[in-house]
Amino acid sequence: MSERHLAVVVLAAGQGTRMKSTKPKVMHELAGLPLLGHVLTTANALGAAHVVPVVRHEKEAISAYITEFFPTAVIAEQDEIPGTGRAVECGLQALPNDFDGVIVVTSGDVPLLDVSTIETMLATHLDGGYAASVLTTFLDDPTGYGRILRSTDGEFLQIVEQKDASEQQRAINEVNAGVYVFDAKLLRNALAKVGTHNAQGEKYLTDAAAELLHEGHRVQAVSIDDEWLVAGINDRAQLSEVAAELNWRINRAWQLAGVTILDPNNTWIDVTVAIGQDAVILPGTYLQGITEIGAGAKIGPECVLVDTKVGEGATVIKTHATGSRIGDGASVGPFSYLRPGTDLGADGKIGTFVETKNAIIGAGSKVPHLSYVGDAEIGTNSNIGAGTIFANYDGVKKHRSTIGNDVRSGSHNVFVAPITIGDGAYTAAGTVVRRDVKPGDLGMNVAPQKNIADWVLTKREGTDAAKAAQAAREANSN
Ligand code: UD1
Ligand code: MG
C-alpha cells in the first residue's frame, strides 16, 4: 500500500488506574491480542506514513510489545505533564518537523474501532475542509465519557469531561469516542494554547477541538450508531462487556462464512484464528492464538486449542492442546492433553487420558488409552498399547524414543529412553523396555507368573473372597 500523507497517533501512555492492575491497561488481552494490538492493527491498515504510539506508564512492557509486533511504529514518550492533549503533543514531536498532513488520533483503550469508520471520518473531514473532526456516539449510560456540547442548530461547541461537567451537561448522552482527525499544523498550534485548568489538572486533547473552533476554524462532530465500535475500556467490567460483544461478532462472522457454531455465547474465538468451511465448533470450546481449523473438522464440546493446527475432517473432543498439529482425519480425545511439539499424522489417534509432548506420531498410528508420550517419534500405522509411559526423563536429562512403523506395543509398557524399536516389532504386555528391539522381534522381560495354591483360603480365611473361592470350588466339584 502506498503511504498516505497521514499520521496515526495512538494514545497508550495513561496509567489505567481504574483497571486496578499491575499490568498496563492497554496490555490487557481481548480475543487474543492486547487492547493496543487491536488498535495498532487498525492503525497499520490505514496505510499511514507514520504510526506513533505514545507511551509512559509501564513503557518498557508496552514498548517491547510494539517493537516485536509492530516494528514500523515510531514510539513516542510522554513527559510528566498529564493528559491526552499532552500525549498527542509528545506524539507530534516524533513526526518530521515539517509534517503538514492529517493526524488521526485513536486511543489504546478503544479496541473495536474499525478501519472503515476512520476512512469515512477522513473523507468527510477532508471534503468539508475541517480543522478537526471528533467521533461521537449516543449511549444510554454515558457515565465516565466526555459529553458533546452542541449549539441549538446542532453545531459542535466543545467536549466536557465527566468530572468537569455540570449536572445538566451530564444528562447529555452524546459522548466523545476518543477518536479524532486533525490538521497537523493547526493541531500543533492549538495544543500549545491548551492549559490544565480542569478537575483533573490534565492537558485535555478535547480542549484542542474547542480551541480550533474558537480560532475560527471548522470543527465537526460525527456520530456513529454502532456504539460498540467506540466503546472505551477503563475497568474490568467494561473489558468483559467488550470481550463478549467482540466474541459474538467473531462467531457471527464465522457462521456467515460457513462454519457451524452451535452456541456462540459459549464458544470463544480469538481474532487470530482461522477456520475452514463446514467445520463444526461445539459448545465450551476456546480457540486461541494462531490456531487453524481445517475444513470439515469437528471441534468440541469443551476443547481449548492454543496455537494449534487441526487438519481437514479431524475430530477433537474435550481436549486441551497447545502448540500442536493434528493431521487430516485424525481423532483426538476425549480427555487428551497435547503439549507443545505434538504432531499427530493423518488419520492418527490420540485417545482418552493421553498426554503427549514433543511427540511426532506418524500417519495412521494410534495412542488410544491412558498413556504418556514425551520426546518420542512414532512411525506410521503403529499401535501403542493402553497404559504406556515413555520414560523420557532420567532425573537430569530428557532422552528421545524412536518407535518404527507398524509396531505393536503391549499394554502397560514403559519405554525407557533413549530407546529404538524397529519396524514391525512387538513388545509384550507389562514390559519395561530398556533395550532396543530389532525389526520384527518381540521384546519382553516379564517374569514367569507364579500362582500360589490356596493362598486366599489360608491367608484370608473368612473373607468374602475366601467364601466366593470356596463356593466356586464346590460348584466345580459337583
Ligand atoms: C477520554 C476523553 C473522553 C472520551 C473517552 C473515550 C479526554 C480528556 N477525554 O477519557 O472525552 O469520552 O476518552 O474513551 O481526552 N492517555 C495518555 N496519556 C495521558 C492520559 C491518557 O496517553 O496522560 C491515553 C490512555 O492510555 C488511553 C487514552 O489516552 O489510551 C484515553 O485515556 P483515559 O484516561 O482512558 O481517558 P478517558 O477518561 O477515558
Ligand atoms: Mg478511556
CB contact set of 268 (below 8 Å; sequence gap of 6+): 31, 247, 285, 286, 287, 288
353 contacts 369 by C-beta, under 8 angstroms: yes
pLDDT tier, 345 (very low <50, low <70, confident <90, very high otherwise): very high
Q: What residue owns the CA closest to ligand 1's atom 3?
A: 146
Task: Look at residue 8 in the predicted model and tell me its pLDDT.
Answer: 98
8 contacts 106 by C-beta, under 8 angstroms: yes
For the chain, give every domain's residue range.
Answer: 3-230, 259-443
Domain covering 3-230, topology: Spore Coat Polysaccharide Biosynthesis Protein SpsA; Chain A (3.90.550)
The mean pLDDT of 451-478, rounded to a whole number, is 95
Helix, strand, or coil here: 77? Answer: strand
CB contact set of 451 (below 8 Å; sequence gap of 6+): none
Lowest mean pLDDT among 240-249, 257-266, 443-452: 443-452
Top mutation candidate among 107, 137, 164, 238 for ligand 1, by most atoms within 8 Å of CB: 107
**C-alpha cell of 230?**
467506540
Task: Look at residue 2 in the predicted model and tell me its pLDDT.
Answer: 58
The mean pLDDT of 345-351, rounded to a whole number, is 98
Question: Would residue 399 show up in a list of annotated catalytic residues for this protein?
Answer: no
pLDDT above 60 for 23: yes
CB contact set of 71 (below 8 Å; sequence gap of 6+): none
| From 57, 369, 399, 412, active-site residue | 369
Nearest to 193 by CA among 174, 166, 212, 173: 212
Quick: pLDDT tens for 67-78. 999 999 999 999
pTM of the model: 0.92
pLDDT above 80 for 28: yes
pLDDT tier, 4 (very low <50, low <70, confident <90, very high otherwise): confident
**C-alpha cell of 196?**
490544565
**C-alpha cell of 204?**
485535555
Q: Quote the radius of gyration of the chain (alpha carbons, Å).
A: 32
pLDDT above 70 for 1: no
How many whole angstroms separate alpha carbon 194 and alpha carbon 449?
A: 91
- Amino acid sitting at position 401: S
pLDDT tier, 89 (very low <50, low <70, confident <90, very high otherwise): very high
Return the beta strands (E) in 276-371 as ranges. 280-281, 285-288, 292-293, 298-299, 304-306, 309-310, 315-316, 319-322, 325-326, 331-332, 336-338, 343-344, 349-352, 354-361, 366-369
Q: How far is the CA of 52 from the centre of ligand 1 (A)?
A: 16
Quick: pLDDT tens for 374-398. 999 999 999 999 999 999 999 999 9
Q: Which atom of ligand 1 is nearest to the CA of 177?
A: 6
Q: What residue owns the CA closest to ligand 1's atom 9?
A: 146
313 contacts 296 by C-beta, under 8 angstroms: yes
Task: Look at residue 3 in the predicted model and tell me its pLDDT.
Answer: 76
Task: Tell me which residues have their CB closer than 6 angstroms to ligand 1.
Answer: 11-14, 26, 54, 78, 82-84, 86-87, 107-110, 145-146, 159, 161, 175-178, 204-206, 232, 234
Quick: pLDDT tens for 172-206. 999 999 999 999 999 999 999 999 999 999 999 99
Q: Which atom of ligand 1 is nearest to the CA of 15?
A: 26
How many whole angstroms separate alpha carbon 39 and alpha carbon 36?
A: 5
Distance from the Cα of residue 100 to its chain's centroid: 38
Q: What residue owns the CA closest to ligand 1's atom 34?
A: 14
Which class for 412: exposed (0-12), middle (13-18), buried (19 or more C-beta within 10 A)?
Answer: middle
pLDDT tier, 448 (very low <50, low <70, confident <90, very high otherwise): confident
Q: What residue owns the CA closest to ligand 1's atom 13?
A: 178
Quick: pLDDT tens for 99-157. 999 999 999 999 999 999 999 999 999 999 999 999 999 999 999 999 999 999 999 99
Q: How far is the CA of 156 from the centre of ligand 1 (A)?
A: 20
Q: What residue owns the CA closest to ligand 1's atom 35?
A: 234
In the CATH scheme, what is the code of domain 259-443?
Answer: 2.160.10.10
The mean pLDDT of 319-343, rounded to a whole number, is 98
Top mutation candidate among 18, 23, 84 for ligand 1, by most atoms within 8 Å of CB: 84
The mean pLDDT of 6-13, rounded to a whole number, is 97
Q: How far is the CA of 234 from the centre of ligand 2 (A)?
A: 5
User: Across all residues in the chain, what is the average pLDDT?
Assistant: 97
- Amino acid sitting at position 347: D
The mean pLDDT of 208-237, rounded to a whole number, is 97
Q: Which atom of ligand 1 is nearest to the CA of 54?
A: 22
Q: Which ligand is nearest to the CA of 179?
A: 1
* Residue in the structure block whose three cell numbers are 492537558: 203
CA angle 358, 359, 363 (to 5 degrees): 145
How many whole angstroms separate alpha carbon 220 and alpha carbon 238?
A: 28
Q: How far is the CA of 410 from the centre of ligand 1 (A)?
A: 64
